[in-house]
Amino acid sequence: MRIGIVSETYPPEINGVALTVQGLAIGLAARGHTIELVRPRQHQRSPVEPGVLVQEVRGMALPRYPGLRMGWPAGRLLHERWRRLPPDALYIATEGPLGRSALRAAGRLGIPVATGFHTRFDDYAAHYGVGALAPAVRRYLCRFHRRSDATLVPTNALADELRGLGVANVRVLRRAVDSARFHPALRDASLRTAWGADGSTPVVLYVGRIAPEKNLELAVQTFRAIQQQVPGARYVWVGDGPARAALAAAHPDFLFVGTQQGDALARHYASADLFSFPSLSETFGNVVIEALAAGLPVVAFDQGAAREHLQHGSNGYCIALGDEAAFVAAAVTLAGNPGLIRHVGRAARASIERLSPAAVLSDFENLLRGLSRGERQTHVVRIAHA
């Protein structure tokens, strides 16, 4: 098949959407498909990936979201390109100006389209001083996805929500994790020593964008409560973002190690003891299943990946939305009990081993093949995250 993929974020940018889309592109190309990737031009050179043909378009910085870009509309270019050589199916991962123009061009040419709902931009509005725009953003997102042949979401809860908003073509796209890469065996004593942690020191880990929408106030509150019980506890922050500088200045005892990728990221997960994830703005949260695969007990709110994969009190703690006191209490209980950390960590690893990236890619491939044939897609598929 000739498969078109349109995304306004892609490595070298590091975020869940970029890495998920890259995994799809590389995986489908390895299976012999021709992949045409349309993405904004970036300041850094893009990776060269066999079988992935890249069409770069003009881009601009995303307002109030430093470090990320969005694409300018490219409808004329895409219409001419796809008129000459149309893809058999198209996957549009983002809903920005580039994604919107791609959706229009595909509609005019009769190209079947699946769209991805990855980011709650309506929820983000409140965190960036434009909360009054949230209803308008939500209406735009719904209009966008109603025009596709299939809207792919990571959880049943989000699928139900979108259906309630009038998006009838929703398909659940499960996500998986590379459990060979993210593994407890990668625990690194020298890395823990660099963090100032010995074998009995609990290390709390944060992985992700360091930004207001991640509920950072509760992250800090939770760690300070842990410190009251275990004064030597360490807090390691992996990632970057607009709130990092202020947070580092206010909390000089926190360890900020920047963005980590691949095996280095896997070592950071495996070398920690507890993954505290207080975000309330996730459609999924790939970091949750990465942490579970690495054998980390997870404390998170009952949404996204936590709702799908946490068994409360077994492989972590799934906290009712908004119950901050319960969130803090669960993290404190774990951090103060090394035996419980080990027990829950083993259950965390066991709970995620069944997720198969190979099966995930096959499911997505079959969905696109069905779209190219004009078939209705009624099955559940899973998306891998490398």
Per-residue pLDDT 10s for the chain (386 aa) are 999 999 999 988 888 888 889 989 999 999 999 999 999 988 777 677 888 999 999 987 766 655 566 788 999 999 999 999 999 999 999 998 999 999 999 999 999 999 998 776 655 555 555 566 668 888 888 899 999 999 998 888 888 888 998 998 898 878 888 999 999 999 999 999 999 999 889 999 999 999 988 999 999 999 999 999 999 999 999 999 999 999 999 999 999 999 999 999 999 999 999 999 999 888 888 999 999 999 999 999 999 899 989 999 999 999 999 999 999 999 999 999 999 999 999 999 999 987 778 877 888 998 999 999 886 444 444 444 44
Q: Do 169 and 194 lie in a common domain?
A: no
The residue segments making up the domain with residue 20 are 2-178+356-385
What was the pLDDT predicted at 185?
Answer: 97
Q: Counting Cβ atoms within 10 Å, is residue 354 exposed (0-12), middle (13-18) or buried (19+)?
A: exposed
Q: What is the CATH number of the domain that holds 190?
A: 3.40.50.2000
What was the pLDDT predicted at 129?
Answer: 53
Q: Do 74 and 135 lie in a common domain?
A: yes
Mode of pairing for the β-strands spanning 59-61 and 69-71: antiparallel
Q: Do 110 and 207 lie in a common domain?
A: no
What was the pLDDT predicted at 374?
Answer: 84
What was the pLDDT predicted at 379?
Answer: 42
Q: Do 33 and 56 lie in a common domain?
A: yes
Strand intervals (E) in the chain: 2-6, 34-40, 52-57, 59-61, 69-71, 89-92, 113-116, 150-153, 170-177, 203-207, 234-238, 255-258, 274-277, 298-301, 316-319, 381-385
Q: Do 254 and 170 lie in a common domain?
A: no
Q: Do 156 and 305 lie in a common domain?
A: no
Q: Do 348 and 364 lie in a common domain?
A: no
Q: Do 132 and 253 lie in a common domain?
A: no
Q: Do 7 and 103 lie in a common domain?
A: yes
Q: How many domains does the chain have?
A: 2
Q: Do 189 and 206 lie in a common domain?
A: yes
Q: Do 265 and 365 lie in a common domain?
A: no
Is the whole-model pTM more than 0.95? Answer: no
Q: Do 318 and 363 lie in a common domain?
A: no
